[in-house]
Amino acid sequence: MDGRTLARVEPIRSFAQTLPDSCAETWSRAVEHPFVRATAGGTLPRSRFHVWIQQDARFVQQLARFVAGLIAMAPESDVAGLQSGLAALDPELALFGDFAQRESIRLDVPPLPACDEYVAFLRSSLDDYAHAFTAYYACERSYLDAWTNVRRLSGLTEPYAEWVTNWTSEQFAAYVDWLGSRVDEHAFAASDETKAQQRRVFARTVEFEVAFWDACWEVD
Ligand code: MP5
């Protein structure tokens, strides 16, 4: 074969892999948020990190209820995988608890509107399994990519190493890949209209991610 005569071809990407591109601007606002950059650059005020810890702990508690709801409506093919994701939230909540104790901060603070509104949106998506699953994928994928950015820029350095490790571990990346593969499997037989709705749900979820980072970034 003569390489000079071959047409340039784009690699084939799955539906799930194309979802961030279909809301590219919002996606980069989420995964390259100033909060993410400041975390990587070591310039994040400790008080803002504490607010994020408090709000994310609240978020994860509610996310566990959402995932339990997703499992309740899941087809058999998705149940075991989702259960493993739900089980992983226990050690994660323990991480928040240990951190809060070490830094003498409380975790029983009221959630900020950005946290409540995100959770309410996730709950409302449970009306439709494909929507809820897509929202969950967007939620997990955006944390994988945001914390992968932190790791790319600053490595596994203190004081955030445990958080970077939590959301960039091989197991977590494999879980998010698995979620993507289930999105693809379900999209395979879906109509164009259903896929367009899934793109909208993905983009909307990423907007809530941006709002969540904004809320933790904008506090004093
Ligand atoms: C996640 C999170 C990731 N902890 N917080 C927000 C605001 N978005 C996404 O979820 P998980 O289950 O902690 O990996």
Q: Mind listing the pLDDT tens digit for each residue in 3-33? A: 567 777 777 889 999 999 999 999 999 999 9
Q: Phi-psi bin for 89: left (phi > 0), alpha (psi -120 to 50), beta?
A: alpha
208 CA → ligand 1 middle, Å: 12
Q: Please tell me the residue having the least CA distance from ligand 1 atom 10.
A: 140
Give the residue-averaged pLDDT of 200-215.
98
User: Separation of 113 CA from ligand 1 center, angstroms?
Assistant: 16
92 lines ligand 1 (CB under 6 A): yes
Mean pLDDT over 78-107 rounds to: 97
Q: Cβ(140) to ligand 1 under 6 A? A: yes
What is the distance between the alpha carbons of residues 4 and 23, in angstroms, rounded to a whole number?
Answer: 35
Which is the closest atom of ligand 1 to the Cα of 209? 7
**Under 8 Å between Cβ of 71 and 104:** no
- What is the mean pLDDT of the segment spanning 86-110? 96
Tell me the pLDDT band of 219, cut-offs 50, 70 and 90: confident
Report d(CA 54, CA 69) in Å as an integer. Answer: 24
Whose tokens are 């226990």? That residue is 90
Indicate whether 1 pLDDT > 60. no
Place of tokens 């993507």: 180
Average pLDDT over residues 175-185: 97
CA gap 37, 30 in Å, rounded: 11
Q: Inter-axis angle of helices 76-87 and 89-102, to 10 degrees?
A: 20
- CB of 207 shorter than 6 A to ligand 1: no
Using a cut of 0.75, tell me whether the model's pTM lies above it: yes
| Cα-to-centroid distance, 134 and ligand 1 (Å) | 14
Residue scoring higher pLDDT (189 or 55): 55
Pocket test for ligand 1, best of 63, 136, 213 (most atoms within 8 A of CB): 63
